[in-house]
Amino acid sequence: MKSWLRYMENRPPLLGSTILVTRPEPQAKKLAERLAGLGAKVVSMSVIEIVPIKAEVWPKIAFEKQDMIVFVSRNAVACFVAEMPALLSPTTRLVAVGAATARCMVEKGLRVDIQAPAPAGSESLLALAAMKSVAGQAVLIVRGETGRELLADTLKARGARIEYLEVYRRCLPDYTAEEVAQALTADIIVITSVAGLENLCQIVGNAEIKQKVLLVVSERIRQFAEELGFQHIAVTDDVSDTALVHQMIKIGQNNGE
Q: Please give the pLDDT value at position 3.
A: 45
Domain that holds residue 28: 14-48+174-256
Name the band, by pLDDT with cuts 50, 70 and 90, for residue 105. Answer: very high
Query: What mean pLDDT do residues 177-199 have?
Result: 94
**What integer pLDDT is reported at residue 235 of this predicted model?**
94
Total count of domains within the chain: 2
Domain annotation covers residue 155: yes
How far apart CA 216 and CA 185 sit, in angstroms, is 18
Residue 123 above 60 pLDDT?
Answer: yes
Looking at the fold, whether 154 and 178 belong to one and the same domain comes out as no
Q: In this prediction, what percent of the chain has a pLDDT beyond 70?
A: 94
Shared domain for 162 and 178, answered yes or no, is: no
Q: What is the mean pLDDT of residues 245-257?
A: 76
Region of poorest pLDDT, from 64-73, 174-183, 199-208: 199-208
* CATH value at residue 240: 3.40.50.10090
In a domain, 88, yes or no: yes
Domain match, 110 and 206 both? no
In this structure, the answer to whether residues 103 and 178 fall within a common structural domain is no
- Confidence band of 146 (pLDDT split at 50, 70, 90): confident
Q: Is residue 160 part of a domain?
A: yes
Q: What is the pLDDT of residues 10-44, one digit of tens each?
A: 678 898 899 999 987 777 888 999 999 999 999 99
Please compute the mean of the pLDDT values over residues 147-176 and round it to a whole number: 94
Lowest mean pLDDT among 8-12, 87-91, 142-146: 8-12
Q: Is the pLDDT of residue 6 over 70?
A: no
What pLDDT, on the 0 to 100 scale, is given for residue 147? 77
Per-residue pLDDT at 25: 75
Q: What is the mean pLDDT of residues 183-210?
A: 92
DSSP states along the chain: -HHHHHHHHHS-TTTT-EEEE-PPTTHHHHHHHHHHHTT-EEEE--S-EEEEPPGGGSPP--GGG-SEEEE-SHHHHHHHHHH--SPPPTTSEEEESSHHHHHHHHHTT---SEEPPTT-SHHHHHTSGGGT--TT-EEEEEEESS---HHHHHHHHTT-EEEEEEEEEEEPPP--HHHHHHHTT-SEEEE--HHHHHHHHHHH--GGGGGSEEEESSHHHHHHHHHHT-SEEEE-SSSSHHHHHHHHHHHHHHHH-
**Judgement on whether residues 74 and 163 belong to the same structural domain of the protein:** yes
Q: Is residue 120 part of a domain?
A: yes
The stretch 91-112 carries a mean pLDDT of 95
| Domain final residue pick, 171, 201, 236 | 171
Does residue 91 carry a pLDDT above 80?
Answer: yes
Q: Whole-model pTM?
A: 0.78
